[in-house]
Amino acid sequence: MSVAFTRDWLLAETPASRAQAAWGRRYRAWLGLRANPLAMIGLAVVVAFVLLALAASLLATHDPGAQDLANRLARPSAAHWLGTDELGRDIYSRILHGGRVTLGMVIAVVVLVAPLGLAVGCVAGYFGGLVDRVLMRVTDVFLAFPRLILALAFVAALKPGVESAILAIALTAWPPYARLARAETMTVRNSDFIAACRLTGAAPARIVLRHVAPLCVPSLVVRITLDMSSIIITAASLGFLGMGAQPPSPEWGAMIATAKRFIFEQWWVPTGPGIAIMLASLAFNFLGDGLRDVLDPKQR
| Residues 146-174: tens digit of each pLDDT | 888 888 888 888 888 888 889 989 988 99
Backbone phi, psi, residue 265, to 5°: -90, -45
pTM of the model: 0.86
Would the pLDDT of 296 be above 80? no
Domains, the chain, with CATH or none? 102-299 (1.10.3720.10)
Backbone phi, psi, residue 90, to 5°: -70, 120
d(CA 130, CA 230): 32
User: Cα angle at 232 between 38 and 113, to 5 degrees?
Assistant: 105
Hey, how many other C-beta atoms are within 10 angstroms of the C-beta on 72?
15
| Residues 180-219: tens digit of each pLDDT | 999 999 988 888 888 898 888 888 889 999 889 998 988 8
| Residues 30-75: tens digit of each pLDDT | 888 899 999 999 999 999 999 999 999 999 999 998 888 888 988 9
Look at residues 132, 122, 146, 155 and name the one whose alpha carbon lies nearest to residue 230.
146
| Residues 119-146: tens digit of each pLDDT | 999 999 999 889 999 999 999 998 888 8
Can you list the positions of beta strands (E) in the chain?
Answer: none
In Å, what is the CA distance from 280 to each residue of 89, 237, 275?
A: 23, 15, 8
SS3 content of the chain, % helix, strand, coil (to 5): 75, 0, 25
Mean pLDDT of the residues in the chain: 88
State how far Cα 222 lies from the chain centre. 10
